[in-house]
Amino acid sequence: MAPPILKLDNIVLSFGGAPLLNGANLQVEQGDRICLVGRNGSGKSTVMKIAAGFVEPQSGEIFRHPNVTIRYLEQSPDFGAFTTVQAYAEDGLGPNDDPYRVAYLLEHLGLTGQEDPNSLSGGEARRAALARVLAPEPDILLLDEPTNHLDLPTIEWLETELQKSRSALVVISHDRRFLEKVSTATVWLDRGTSRRLSRGFGFFEEWRDKVLEEEEIEQHKLGKAIEREEHWLRYGVTARRKRNMRRLGQLQTMRADHRGHKGPQGTIQATTSDVRESGKLVIEAERITKAYGERTIVAPFSIRVNRGDCIGLVGPNGAGKTTLLQMLTGQLKPDTGKVKLGTNLEIAVLDQKREDLNLEDTLAHYLTDGRGDNLLVNGEAKHVTGYMKDFLFQPEQARTPIKNLSGGERARLMLARIMARPSNLLILDEPTNDLDIETLDLLQEIVSAFEGTVILVSHDRDFLDRTVTSTIAPADPSAPDGRWIEYAGGYSDMLAQRKGANDERKRAEKAERNEKGKSGGGGQPGDPNKSRAKLSFKQKFALETLPKEMAKSAAEIARGEARMADPAFFTKDPEGFNKMAKDLDALRAGIARMEEEWLALEMLREEIEG
C-alpha cells in the first residue's frame, strides 16, 4: 500500500459544548477520489479546514507530506484587494505552474478574467474560486461544495475535468449525481467520528443503513446483557466476592456505554400545511415573450399548468429561467402574450438568494413573524421550540441570530417556515443549495407527496429525475436564444428525448441527401412555387396536449407508488393492492405510447419549421 500524502488521526475539536469532532480520521493517498459526507453541522467543512491547515484541532495527529501541494476551495472565497478575476486566479499559481492554464479554465468557466472580483454574483464567485484552485493542478484538491450556484453545463464540464485530473480529491457536495461520477471512496462523518467505505458514493446509502441497523442490534444486545447482569446482581450466588466485584465493575461500564451512546441524528418531521384546493387550471400562458434590448430571453412560449403538475426549469445561468418563472407566476409582465392565473391560489416561495432572511432575526422571531412563541401549523397552535425540533434545531437555538447559522441550516430554516404556511402552489428557486442528503430526501418526499402544484428551478439532476413530471429547457442549451421546450419527465428523460430527436433529424437529413443524389438534385430549396407541408389540426392538438397527459399519468403513478409503499395497504386490502399494481402498469405503458407519438410529432414539426 502506498504511504498517505495526508493523514488526520484521532482528531478532537470542540467549540465549547459537546465535541464537534471526537476521534475523526481522514487518510488521502495519491489518486484517491474521496467524498466527505454527513449531516449539516457534522463537521465536514471543519475537517476540510483542518486538512488545509486553516484550523488547529485540540488534539490528534496531522501529517502532510512535505513535498505535497494542497489547494482548498472554501464556500465563501476571500477576494481581498484583487482588482480582476484573472489576478486573483493567477495568485494561486506556484513558480513552476503553467500560467496559460488560468486562461483555459476561465474560458471554460465562462469568465473573461477582467471582472471585478468584489462585484461577482454567487455563481461567478464560485467559478473564479474554482479557476484559482484548479490552475496549479495540486497534489490534493479539497473542494467544499464546488457545484453550488453552478449551472448544469458547468457542473458536467467540472465532472470531466476532475475525472482526468491527476490530483487526489476530497470533495463535499449535496449533488448525488456529481458525487457518484467523481468519487471512488466515501468517508462518513457521524456523531463526531468517521467511517470509511472503499467505494464511491453510489454505494454509500445502502452501506450507511446497514451500519445503523447493526448498531441498533448491538445496542439492543447490550441492553439485554445489562438486564441479565442486574438480575445476577440481585439474585445470584455471592461466593467469591472478588469475582463479584469484577462483574459489578463490568456492569457499571456497560451501563455507562449504554447511557453514553448517541443514536443517529433524528429525521426531520414535516408535512405541508393543509389549504383549500386551487382551481384545476393553475397557470395558462399564451405566446408570452420577453426581451431586454436586442436580447430575447423568452421567444413566443405557451404552456398550460394544471393542479398536481410538478414542473422543472433547467438551463445554463443567464438563459432566463428566473425571468420565465416570474412571468408564469405573475411577478413580471410579458412584453407580448398573456398569462392567466387560476383561482384560489396560495403561493409559497423559496428564493434562491435567501433574500427573505433578515440575518439579525432570531430563529423564533423568523418562524413566528414576531407574534409570540407559537405558530399555527395545520390549524393547530404549536410552540416554536417544538416545531424547531421537527427540523433538527435545538431549543436553545430559538434566540440565536440567523447570521450564526450555516448555509445548510439557513436553507432548512426557510423550508421550516414554508411548510408552516398554507399553500397550494410551491415556487422553489434552487431549493437544493446547501442542503445535506437527508434534508434533500425530505424535500423530495414533500414535493412528491404535495397535492398542489410545484414549479422549481434546479441544477440537481438527481432531484429533478426523482420529482418532476415535465421539464422546461432551452431549445439550444449551448446558445440560448429565447426558445423554450417542455419535455415530458425529468432531466434524464429530457436528454433521451433530445438525443432521439437529433438522431431522427440526422437520419432524415441523410435520407433527403440520398434522395436528392438519386434524382439529380430535385427541386431547388426555397422554391416559392413548392408547397410547404403543415401539421394537421389533430396533430397540433396532440403535440400540445400529450405532454400534459403524460405528466398527469406520471403524477398518478407517483401517488399510487406512494400508497403501495405503505406496508399496511396490502395487509388491509390485498385485492385493492393488486388492482392498483395493474393500473400502474397500464399507466406506464400508456406513457410509453404517448412519448413515442409525441416524439414523432415533435420531429415532424421541427422538420417542417426548420
- Please list the rounded mean pLDDT of every run of 10 residues in the chain (610 residues): 88 82 93 91 90 93 94 87 92 88 92 90 88 94 90 91 94 92 94 92 91 81 72 57 58 63 57 69 93 91 92 89 91 93 87 72 88 79 85 84 80 82 86 78 82 90 90 86 90 85 67 64 45 65 81 82 76 80 84 82 76
Q: Which of 178, 148, 151, 142 is closest to 163 using CA atoms?
A: 178
| pLDDT score at 417 | 85
> According to the model, what pLDDT value does residue 358 have?
83
What confidence score (pLDDT) does residue 183 get?
A: 95
Distances (CA, A) of 107 to 86, 102, 104, 120, 478: 11, 9, 5, 16, 14
pLDDT at 58: 92
Residue 527 is predicted with a pLDDT of 46
Q: Give the integer Cα–Cα distance in Å for 224 and 111.
A: 63
Q: Where do runs of H (alpha helix) occur along 292-424?
A: 321-328, 363-368, 384-390, 407-420
Q: What is the pTM of this model?
A: 0.69
pLDDT score for 264: 56
Distance CA 333, CA 328 (A): 9
Spatial contact of 205 and 71, defined as CB atoms under 8 Å apart: no
Tell me which long-range contacts 152-161 makes (C-beta under 8 A, separation of at least 24): 152/314, 152/315, 152/316, 152/459, 152/461, 152/477, 153/316, 153/477, 153/478, 154/109, 154/110, 154/127, 154/316, 154/317, 155/459, 157/108, 158/130, 161/108, 161/134
Residue among 342, 349, 344 at smallest CA distance from 304: 342
pLDDT for res 311: 94
- Is the domain covering 6-206 a CATH 3.40.50.300 domain? yes
Residue 199: predicted pLDDT: 93
- As a whole number of angstroms, the distance between CA 203 and CA 181 comes to 12
If one counts every other C-beta atom within 10 angstroms of the C-beta of residue 416, the result is 22
φ, ψ of residue 557 to 5 degrees: the values are -65, -45
| Cell 478575476 found at | 85
Listed in order, strand segments (DSSP E) in 180-309 are 185-190, 193-197, 281-292, 295-306
How many residues make up the chain in this entry?
Answer: 610
Nearest alpha carbon to residue 70 among 3, 21, 12, 137: 137
Contacts (Cβ under 8 Å, ≥6 apart) of 129: 73, 74, 77
